[in-house]
Amino acid sequence: MQRMALNNSQPQLIILMRITTWFYITGRLCTTSLCLLLFFTSSPAIATDRASDEFLAGYITSILERDMHWERDSYILKIVNGVARITLFKDDSIRREAADKQLRTIDGLQAMTIVVKPADTDKPEVASGFLGITGEAEAFPTGNLFQPLIADPKQPQFFVSLDSFRSLGVRYTMASVGFGEAFGLYRFFGSREGDGLQLNVEGALFAQFNLDTPSSDLINADYIIGIPVAYRYGDNSLLFRLYHQSSHLGDELLLSANHPERVNLSYEATELIYSREWHEWRVYGGGEYLIHKEPNDLKPLSAHWGIEYRGSKPLLWNGRPIGGVDMKSLEEHDWELDTSVKVGLEFGHPNPGQRRLRLMAEWYKGFDPHGQFYNNKVEYFGLGVSLGF
């Protein structure tokens, strides 16, 4: 009887054990799934927070500079985890109250403080070293301490332009493109905000196309690689650059019936330019020297100077007025003047290393700045678009 009872209870025990095992396994699976869910959802959350800091920084900067007309060198903005801290170099209670009232309504901004820290230029700081450089530094900094030249036709940048071009008495439609930028490698900070010494590397390609030919012939391409060093102290900035340029004619041009005799233009040069800013204006001047050159009979010296204007208030379609006149004189051409003029509108952030777009009207008269045609006098005018990253 007892044995039969035991046998009869066996199915019940087996069922009970299966139920217990099922609950155990289900519980383990739920716990593991929950842990995995928390793990995989935590990383995007962090990324979202970081992205929101960048978005807030750009949004607040646009309000301060575009809507409230703050000068870009009059404050510092830092945002960490949605908390903004604005440092002013000059106390202005009306400006502080207006900014506080307008910015606190921004969605996603957790908190905000505005402090005043005047830049003391009368007393040298103990921590400052040679040329006002401190011991603090940063690898791969954003932007540049020397503002890129607006009207220089050989300024490394991303652009495309369409011009009416005249050379040797012949006029045709020319498209010019450029790909290039300066990349910050290391920056030593100065004793004041915005000052410092920065090492960069830059590369650029400049190419021209004759659009009046059936296949839009490539005329010339210049390749540039350089190592610029930029220094800034207040409104003064200095650029020293060691660079290489080589030029190459287009295949279609070489195969054409009236192809020019090829000249292997290649050189290494040193360049030094000083600039001085005053409110929205800037003047600069300097020159360069060819260290190694081909052809060997190229004369090495050249002078380079100009004037620029960068407006801070929107003029049309929220675009700020911008323009420059760039002039060069080469010993090779008996110091005759080459003049480049560009004027237009700038959209986006005005500082290097930030997103921006420029619509520019341009005019040039002088010796050809491109490739082996450096002894040809040319004149062109047209429109161009350039992008900043």
pLDDT digits (tens, 9 = 90+) for 276-298: 999 899 999 999 999 999 999 99
Domain with CATH 3.30.300 in the chain: 57-116
Residue 57: CB atoms within 10 A of its CB come to 14
Look at domain 130-388 and name its CATH class: mainly beta
pTM higher than the cut 0.85: no
Q: Which residues, other chains included, contact 235 with Cβ-Cβ below 8 Å and sequence gap of 6+?
A: 276, 277, 278
pLDDT tens digits, residue range 78-108? 877 677 888 887 778 888 888 888 887 887 7
Query: DSSP 3-state helix, strand, coil percentages of the chain (rounded to 5)?
Result: 25, 50, 30
Q: What CA–CA distances, in Å, run from 379 to 171, 300, 328, 364, 368?
A: 9, 24, 15, 5, 8
Q: What percent of the chain has pLDDT over 70?
A: 82
Residues of the chain falling short of pLDDT 70: 1-52, 81, 118-130, 257, 259
Backbone angles phi, psi at 229, to 5 degrees: -120, 125
> Tokens representing 127?
């921590």
Whether the Cβ atoms of residue 100 and residue 109 lie closer than 8 Å to each other:
no
The angle formed by the CA atoms of residues 174, 327 and 277, to the nearest 5 degrees, is 120
| pLDDT at residue 28, as a whole number | 52
Classified as helix, coil or strand, 18 is helix
CATH classification code of 57-116 = 3.30.300
Domain with CATH 2.40.230.10 in the chain: 130-388
Select from 67, 346, 107, 65 the least CA-distant residue to 86: 65
Q: Could you tell me how many helices (H) and strands (E) the chain has, helices first?
A: 3, 16
| pLDDT at residue 111, as a whole number | 78
Side chain identity at residue 154, one-letter code: K
